Structure 1
Amino acid sequence: MTAYQKPSLAVSEIEVVLRNHFGPGAAELTPLTGGNLSSVFSFVHEGNGYVVKFSDLEGAYQTESFVSNLLSRQGIAFPKCLVLGKTGSLAYIITERIGGRNLADYTVEQQAAHLPELISILTKLAAVDVGSTNGFGWIGPDGNGTYASWKDFVIACSAEDQTGTFWENWHDLFRTSYLERSVYEEIYNRLMSCISYNEPHRGFIHGDFQQWNILSDGECITGIIDGNCIYGDPLVDLAILDLHMPWSGVIKAYQDFQTKCGITIPNFKARLIGAYYFKGLDGLRFYAKMGWKDAYQGTRQFLLNLES
């Protein structure tokens, strides 16, 4: 299996899409880095900044539109969705652009200085009101989860048959990449053994809460973007941030903040371990498909050394 390639578009194709919605005058069309599954560009029209993203994955952006409305209504800075459309075989979305640069562009020291804000945002995400929706796992275009339980979702994520998705024929990775079946199955079995701790908790999960999807102006966090949004245990987002900023003391800062706010988190350690296994397992598969060997090896070592 070859590494996944984002869709490629000629500038003229993008300009046609923008002209259809904005008329003439779109300028400063610039490719943006960071998106793994979308081709992303920024542009300016009448002095305002926007972003357009293109994907060849089915139904790529309907959920993002729902999430945009959900989060913005609850005071979380997330790009406002303006347009959904299709051009040929590609879906696209046009959103307002949030100012700032990817947190990943800053030094480790500058990233660490943002930790209090990051913990506050994680706490707000965990408190998002999802009471009008139901289900677990991937958030569909109607705002509901795709599965009846967290366990059903986890089992489905590792199913061999993923026809029509990003993970179609993913078992080929056991032959064509450095994804080791024995390691994958070991982590999966550990995940299933502690799933009962995560299963009762249903909240909003950004699903990719790390430096490439967090924007800063150098002084403060200006917003969050993208996401692989699901319903489940919100501690998954905490695990993701810790996996990407292991040097920053994320876990202690989170616990201290919850204590300060009078928030009690039942079975914290067991749930966090389950979150590590869930996200780390998907990370192993993703890094192998993308050809990111260092990330694969680092995640592999972390998961195998994790105490259940």
Structure 2
Amino acid sequence: MSAYEKPSLAISEIEEVLRNHFGPGVAEITPLAGGNLSSVFSFVYEDKGYCVKFSDLAGAYETECYVSDLLSGQGIPFPKCMVLGNTGRLAYVIMERIIGLNLGDCTEEEQLHQLPELIGILASLADVEVGSTSGYGWIRPDGNGTYESWKDFVVAFNAEDQTGTFWENWHDLYRTSCLERDVFEEIYNRLMAYVPYNESYRGFIHGDFHQWNMLSDGKRITGIIDGNCMYGDCLVDLAILDRHMPRSGVIQRYQDYLTKAGKVIPDFKERLLGAYYFKGLDGLRFYAKMGWKDAYLGTRQFLLNLT
């Protein structure tokens, strides 16, 4: 099983897609770094910045447009979705471009300076109003979750049969990569033991909440982007941020923020452990597939040492 490769496009293909929507006048088409599953380009039209993303995964962007409306409508700085379409085998989406550089490109000092604002955005995501929808796990284009319960989602997400998804034939990784079956199954069993703590909480989860999906002008967060959005326990996003900024005291800062706001989180420790195991297990499989052995080994050590 080889590492996943993003679709590659000639500039002429991109120009044709953009010309169909904007007519002449699109300028400065530039590839952007980031995005493990999409090929992303920025461009300018009538002095305004946009970006276009291409994916060969079926239905890649319908949910992103739903999420864009949901978040931007509730004051979260998320890019607005303009156009959804297909060209040949690829799906694409055109979105407004939020000005800024990746927060991950800022110095560690600059990142720390913006952490209080990041914690505030994290708390706002946890408060996003999702009451008119139902279900857990991946958010469908209609705004509902894909599964009846968090447990159903966790079981399905880690099942062997993933036909038609990014994880099709993923058990091959036990033979072809650094993924170890005994380690994966140990973490999975721990995860299932903590599912009962997480499953009664249903909120919006960004699912990829770290500094490479944040935009910044160097002093302030200008927006959040992308995401593997789902419904479930919002502490999943906290676990992700903590793993990506491990020296920043993320957990304590989040608890302090909630205490100041007069909010109490029941079963915080157990729910956070469940979140670490959920995202960590996904990380083990992903790093193995991408051939990122150092990331795999670091995550493996972190998970096995959790108590």
Query: Does TM, scored on the shorter chain, surpass 0.5?
Result: yes
- % identical equivalent positions: 76
Partner of 1:254: 254
Q: Match for residue 290 of structure 1?
A: 290
What displacement does 1:112 show? 1.0
Question: Alignment partner of 2:288: what SS?
Answer: helix
5 Å-filtered alignment, 1:231-246, equals 231-246=231-246
> Is 1:53–2:53 an aligned residue pair?
yes
1:119 CA drift (Å): 0.5
Q: Distance in 2 between matches of 1:112 and 1:34?
A: 21
1:142-187 Cα shifts (integer Å, max 9, x gaps): 0000000000000000011101100000110000000000000000
Q: How far apart in 2 are the matches of 1:194 and 1:12?
A: 50
Aligned partner of 2:21 in structure 1 is 21
The TM-score, its normalising length taken from structure 2, stands at 1.00
Q: How does 1:34-45 map to 2 (within 5 A)?
A: 34-45=34-45
Q: CA deviation at 1:194?
A: 1.0
Pairwise CA distance, 1:109: 1.3
What is residue 8 of structure 1 aligned with on the other side? 8
Instruction: For structure 1, list consecutive stretches of 5 or more residues without a partner in the other structure.
Output: none
Which position in structure 2 is the counterpart of 1:113?
113
Could you say which residue in structure 2 is the equivalent of 1:94? 94
CA distance in 1, matches of 2:114, 2:299: 24
**Which position in structure 1 is the counterpart of 2:265?**
265
Q: CA deviation at 1:20?
A: 0.2
Corresponding position of 1:301 = 301
Structure 1 position 195, deviation (Å): 0.7
| Alpha-carbon separation, structure 1, partners of 2:234 and 2:13 | 39
1:108 Cα deviation (Å)? 1.2
Specify the code of the residue in structure 1 equivalent to 2:62: Q
- Aligned alpha-carbon RMSD (Å): 0.4
Structure 1 counterpart of 2:125: 125
Distance 1:291 1:83 in 2: 34
- CA apart distance, 1:113: 1.0
Q: After TM superposition, list the pairs within 5 Å mapping 1:168-179 onto structure 2.
A: 168-179=168-179
Partner residue in 1 for 2:62: 62
For 1:133-282, what aligned pairs fall within 5 Å after superposition? 133-282=133-282
User: Quick check: 1:33 aligned with 2:30?
Assistant: no
| CA distance in 1 between partners of 2:269 and 2:114 (Å) | 24
Letter in structure 2 aligned against 1:2: S
CA shift digits 1:21-47 (9 cap, x unpaired): 000111111100110000000000010
Aligned residue number for residue 72 of structure 1: 72
Q: TM-score, normalised by structure 1?
A: 0.99
SS in structure 2 of the partner of residue 114 of structure 1: helix
